[in-house]
Structure 1
Amino acid sequence: MSETSVLPQLPQELWRAGKLELAHGATEALTLMRAASAVLGIYLAEIESRGAKDLYGYANTKMWLADVARIAPADAKKVVDRAVALNPTRALDGTEVPALAPATAVAAAEGAVGEQHIDQIIGVLKRIPAHVTVENREAAEKILADLARDGGPGQIAAAEAGLMAWLDPDGAEPKDPEPVQPRRELRVHRRKDGFWKLTGLLDDEAGARTAAAIEAYAKPRPVDEFGQADLRTVWERQGDAWVDLLDLAIASPDQPGTCDCLMLPIVMNAAGEPLDVGRIKRFVTPGQRKALNARDRGCSFPGCQRRPKRCHAHHIHHWADGGLTDLRNMCLLCSFHHRLIHHGDWEVRMAADGLPEFIPPQYLDPLQAPRRNTLHPTLA
């Protein structure tokens, strides 16, 4: 089989391609890679059924694949385990062993899901209690496979909690370990040169949460339209991430805030807090922030699970362009999606029902159908 019959046709001068052509080419290649991995899995499942020792003299399929693919045995084991989970095999007596995740295998064969989706779904299925019926287990797997076609790891993780509550409402027997008082210390002092130094000690849980929060905000910025890359060191990016986290904490609705004393109409809520302040104030008031938190329940971008305290109040019609600081012109966005709206090809607008909806770029959805975030719990 020739190389051109497998790979998508590349433009002769790729540097002339537009962004839509580049995006379509990349997604087509990604689909082919995923579909090819699914085909490899079918072969590996058959080799596993027949026995790599009888076929090729290797102790197991993992060692055979590691040698053929020139990869580490640990990596080969992951590929083989994934293949066996997606495809039916045969036991020593010839009876068929059904696949753990057949619906996921169908999505994988279509190139719709990749290794991360597959491993995540397999992990969820293995955590389902043994007493759950086969029918309910199959239904749960189909839900996850269908979700993975359009969703990311975060959406699958969010769905797991709901599925487990449905499949095993009683849950595992609770344990009552002796509580341990966590050890946490923080020292902040100002140096003579005007800089501040932070030192501290955190328990494992608090340290992991701190590292995860900083890491989330410390990722390098993508190259901008002028070709400028993010040249900050990792330590500088982590320092900037710390400041971003402080800004989010300070922007909490519990923080005190005041309105400029201008004689202009202001819409108040029942408690006398301003909700619509027009152009007299750029930043949201505490009352507006509470209302946004209650309405959006977190980042309003489709598929994002960031909670309200990790979000900014975004002007849909930008303030610099004359936008108003009113609830009908604002939505909650996390830092990443806030930057994406300002600098990417996504668009946000307020729908007729007063909720924000997002228009994807054409390379993601040629029809550009509006999307909403459906992950956040709604008010009862």
Structure 2
Amino acid sequence: MSSPVDLLNERVGALAGLVEGMPWADTAELGELLAGAKDATVLDLAARVGEVVRLADAVAARIAGEIERRSDRTLEAPLATRLGERNAPAVLASITGVHATRARDWCEVGTRLAGRTTLIGEPLPSLHPVVAAGLDHGSLSLDAARVILTTLRQVDPFATVEDLAGLEEFLVGQAGELPLTDLTKLCRALPDRFNPDGIEPREEAARARADFSVIAHRDGTYSSVIHWDAESLGIAQAALHARMNPRKVTFTDPDTPGGDEAIRDTRTIGQRRLDALTSIMRDSLRADTGDSNGIDTTILVTIPLEALMTGVGTATLFGVDASISARTARRMACDAKILPVVLDGNSQPLDLGTARRLFSPAQRQAMAVRDGGCIWPGCDEPPSRCQSAHITPWAAGGPTNISNGVLLCPFHHRRFDLDGWDLDTDPATGTRYLIPPAWVDARRTPRRISPPAVAA
């Protein structure tokens, strides 16, 4: 039987021979060769590289297993200690330059597949011969081997020797047919089948590890690190998917390459997910009566009077270190749960936003009937998820009346204010139009706002 080193040498030779046999291989760089190669040739090269990588990982795992054995802390002079490293993965990461995670994977797989000896020193085969054979022949990747070995270890206390042998053979066979993600899902479900009573303790342990933390960065942004338990993640994903998925199908105008800039959503999936989460939280604040467990849920925004009037300057969210722009503070002030605290030149409070600034519930209901939700073309956010926005800002003298108000979802409210859009109404027909800024449309062609469908 060929060792993985022999197979690796053979596959590397075949790969090199294929490249050397390509036209102009003796004069062109590899990038130039690939650019001029046929699809079939490029795919063949990728497949051969995959074989080489799998066999190289097999050899690396075997070497790592030996380094792990020689670095055992029970030895008189462990290898890792003699080299000034903490453990075998650290030795491998230092020697090979790979990431520590990859080095740990090599060590884990190599240790689990290493040969054994009896008490009198006689050699024994690997505890997992099917996985070992698949890895050494290059048919099983290191990642698949690690997932299978982890599953076998979890199942071991609850299965017979025969069950484990059959499961190992089954999983190695599945690894040849399933993508790694599907194999991982399959392996994740198996321990519960052998130990159905063990899922509840694991759930409790997962809940105990669940955590939410916020990290402040120097650039004024924040990161959240969430460790979910399965139940909480399921609820969160359902809520986010419901908020993110479109409720109607839109079609692109073939005469407008790339779609109308007014309708095209340029947000990444991560940005859409964040906006959905913020929208859910905003709804929670809006639904609260103003007091939650004895704590006021109103958000305070402090802003100088000059910044409020001009839209130029900064404001501060109470409890958040980073500043926000005055324009953002003015837009946030459209929400009844966000209260601007206006400061004079000496930073003394002049006024807590009054009812003149906010649209009344009756006005919001009237706009809901008129607008039917966010008025932006292509957006179908309902009135409950929209903000009552002033067309002419209140701080600039715009009245808080229905004719100067419009419903916009938070995302399009930002676009309306920050990108320079405008809204115009035909006095004869009452038809309203969104006017794009010149950088979106040099002609500033009006986009008609379709009235909501009203049942007869």
| TM-score clears 0.5 | no
For this structure pair, what is the TM-score category when the shorter chain's length is used for normalisation? 0.3 to 0.5
Higher-Rg structure is 2
TM-score calculated relative to the size of structure 1: 0.43
